[in-house]
Amino acid sequence: MARKPRPHSESGYYHLITRGNNKKDLFYEREDFEQYLKLLAQYLGLNKVKLHHYCLMTNHVHLLSHSESPQAISKMMHGLQRSYVLFFRKKYQWTGHLFQGRFKSLAIESESYLLECGRYIERNPLRAKIVRDPSDWPYSSYHAYAFGKVTPYLTLSEAYLGLADSREKRQELYRKYLDEARPYDGLVDKSLVVVRS
């Protein structure tokens, strides 16, 4: 059976999700998270894809990326996942599938949803009850937006930059924004039930 074509975003923004096969962990220790981020930075650069938000959970990954070319997104993800699988297999003497099928791709058509999507991504550790505060999870873009941590492979979103004129005020508003109840959480959860891309 032919694969269903991926949704195309006119805006070029995509919420990308990849999961461990059978909900197995993708990352066991700090080195694994760091290796994935190192490879992510490499393949973003090779394919000229921008990364706006991310969160690495133990058994899945969320990325909010931008490219005018859907093919560039696919090439970036293919190279990233292939390289990480090679690392993982060598380190853990792993055989079989590491990732659960193809990555999911949700098109973000409106720039007004960029912050909503970023918030959803960075609140994942809270939703999973791994931490009580998003600042306690080191493997997300939250620290760049909320505290100004320099992250070379991350491009701060225009929606975030428009929050305020000063860096300190933007960070303060963003921290408050993540504490609020927002509708995007439920919308994405419903989408993930039906998306099969």
pLDDT, average across residues 124-142 = 94
CB 169, CB 148: distance < 8 Å: no
Tens of pLDDT, residues 71-123:
999 999 999 999 999 999 999 998 889 999 889 999 888 777 888 899 999 99
Task: Give pTM, 2 decimals.
Answer: 0.88
Tens of pLDDT, residues 27-54:
999 999 999 999 999 999 999 999 999 9
Q: What are the domain boundaries of the chain? A: 13-192
Q: 197 pLDDT band (50/70/90 cuts)? A: very low
> Angle at CA 122, nearest 5°, toward 84 and 157?
90
Residue type, 46: L
Q: 192 pLDDT band (50/70/90 cuts)? A: very low
Query: The domain 13-192: what is its CATH number?
Result: 3.30.70.1290
Residue 2: pLDDT over 80: no
Tens of pLDDT, residues 135-164:
999 999 999 999 999 999 999 999 999 999
Q: Whole-angstrom Cα distance, residue 145 to residue 50? A: 16
Q: Whole-angstrom Cα distance, residue 84 to residue 138? A: 19
Residue 14: pLDDT over 80: yes
Q: 194 pLDDT band (50/70/90 cuts)? A: very low
